[in-house]
A and B are shown apart, each in its own frame.
Chain A
């Protein structure tokens, strides 16, 4: 695994894919300094026999450009639903979501975000390189550009030696790294991640978290990160958004900001500020528990 190397230019400055609307990383030159703005978002699913299930209600959320925000909460609190709404994989029944000042649908069409799921979701018949190449290929980038960008991304996630391997020849952690590389292919300024490390073992998971912080420091992208692990949220985030179920809503926000993303290392996990952050998020979650929906925080992973 390659070590953090601040001297190398962030991928945003090199190998442009020719995608329209891709501004340099971290620069607030764009009119919208907010990566994501959700106003009064509600999502109601139609249940059986006309019953309705309110998955999300009254969601107010702002994610600034370059900010790392975690959504945490027990199962059924709608955190994944919220992520899907931002990605325009689903549409809200009320309210509005804007991504970089555009509608969510337009942002999806413009490839303003990259996305990674809990399952790596690699295409088994494509090599690692071809999997990373997929979004570039779909959007008509020419061969030379594609090869250059794929080589860059393989270096970024430390898989340069595995370009010609197939997904079934990789470990779960390596597959997830390929998925992250793929989500970065179009140099998005927003990364959406739905429990990307949820299926990994604890050791791999911690290594991947540090890896993600490094990648994020190099790319300067904003991240919306869904998790049910408190330490993971605290370790990674600038801000932790606490959610609670029935109906899914945001109950609290905890500012963590344990220093610059690039400076965070493994020793941070034993730092007093880290434990203070964990305590703060846990209390916020338990506060939600004492609210009407008792026992709501039971599903939260306190690893």
Chain B
């Protein structure tokens, strides 16, 4: 029922089982990949292809050639090899990790900006009924604008910003786009959470002659945590996706998004290479999710649900 009911020992066993199952899951995926590669047709399976016409027909099963589906061990081996044949080139894995770290920093910044903006909007909407009616439709509308349309606009506007020693860098555009995707779940989730205390609790705070801010800090904010944690997790996922996509559309070099694009170009001669940055992006997402889980653990006292008396 509650966390207190589980003994530490059972908890540790539970954690180990989770790790084991995670590893089993990854291995199973690799095995499935190899199995299909083994039994699947090398050229895939085309339906209705015309003789001598390339690109005709519908491919129902993907190709299993080393070109299209490199062996999983080749992918792993490629990670250790140098990124290019140039003298002193770093191993691909290191390059991917560095790029992922750069992207992680940008995503984290975007997430932070998104959370702050989202929470501020939620507070504004909480404080003023009019603001809720005026702002909420735009908050929802903002998410229907396609990212591809937005990226050049932001880069364009940003590049016109210039005061003193400050000049707009392309990573800033990436941060803005990542935060643009991250703020939405926070704004909506935080608003719901801040509005979640029931009338009896609000009456109680009023009977204590507590003002708006006191009620906010002592009642509304703690009560919003169960709604806020899933919103923060969504925001983290959005920030990572936003960063990867924005890096490509803004043209920011040094991040994982750009690396995916660059290695994809090399796919024909080096088929195992593009998979490394893709795995790097997955790793990035996992780290972001882990970070939010850590944050949620700190907030766990606020996630107790009140049982009905």
Interface positions of A (Cβ within 8 A of B) = 84, 87-89, 108-109, 111, 113, 115, 117, 119-125, 134-135, 138-139, 166-169, 172, 175-176, 199-200
Contacts and interface: CB of A to CB of B under 8 A. Distances in A.
Chain B interface helix/strand/loop/mixed? helix
Contact of B209 (A109, A124, A175): A109
Contact of B305 (A119, A121, A124): A124
Contacts of A120: 309
Interface stretch (B95-103, B155-163, B197-205, B254-262): B197-205
A120 B4 CA distance: 23
A123 B200 contact: no
A66 to B, nearest CB: 21
Nearest to A167: B306
Among B203, B206, B303, which residue has the most Cβ atoms of chain A within 10 A? Answer: B203
Contacts of A134: 208, 218
B209 A168 contact: no
Contact of B200 (A117, A167, A176): A117
A125 B209 contact: no
Contacts of A89: 203, 206-207
The 4 A-B pairs of least Cβ separation, nearest first, read A124-B306, A172-B309, A121-B200, A125-B302
Nearest to A105: B209
A183 B10 CA distance: 40
Interface string B159-196: 00000000000000000000000000000000000000
Given A125-B301, A134-B218, A138-B214, A167 B307 contact: yes
B208 A111 contact: yes
B219 interface: yes
B207 A166 contact: no
Given A87-B207, A89-B206, A109-B209, A168 B306 contact: yes
Contacts of A115: 203-204, 207
A123 B219 CA distance: 8
24 contacts: A84-B203, A87-B203, A89-B206, A108-B206, A108-B209, A119-B309, A120-B309, A121-B200, A121-B204, A123-B201, A123-B219, A123-B222, A124-B306, A125-B222, A125-B301, A125-B303, A134-B218, A138-B208, A139-B208, A167-B307, A168-B304, A168-B307, A169-B2, A169-B4
Contacts of B203: 84, 87, 89, 115, 117
Contacts, number: 66
Contacts of A125: 222, 225, 301-304
A124 B222 CA distance: 10
B207 A124 contact: no
B2 A176 contact: no
Contacts of B200: 117, 119, 121
Nearest to B197: A123
Given A138-B208, A166-B2, A167-B306, 4 more contacts: A119-B308, A124-B304, A124-B305, A168-B2
Nearest to B201: A121
Interface string B210-236: 100010001100100100000000000
A167 B309 CA distance: 9
A109 B206 CA distance: 9
A36 B222 CA distance: 35
A115 B207 CA distance: 8
A109 B203 CA distance: 13
A168 B304 CA distance: 8
B296 to A, nearest CB: 14
B304 A166 contact: yes
Interface string B104-135: 00000000000000000000000000000000
A138 B218 contact: yes
A135 B208 CA distance: 6
Interface string B270-309: 0000000000000000000000000000000111111111
A124 B198 CA distance: 12
Given A89-B203, A134-B218, A199 B209 contact: no
Contacts of A88: 207
Contacts of B204: 115, 117, 121
Contacts of B218: 134, 138
A88 B304 CA distance: 31
A181 to B, nearest CB: 14
A199 B307 CA distance: 13
Nearest to B211: A138
Contacts of A123: 201, 219, 222
Contacts of B214: 138
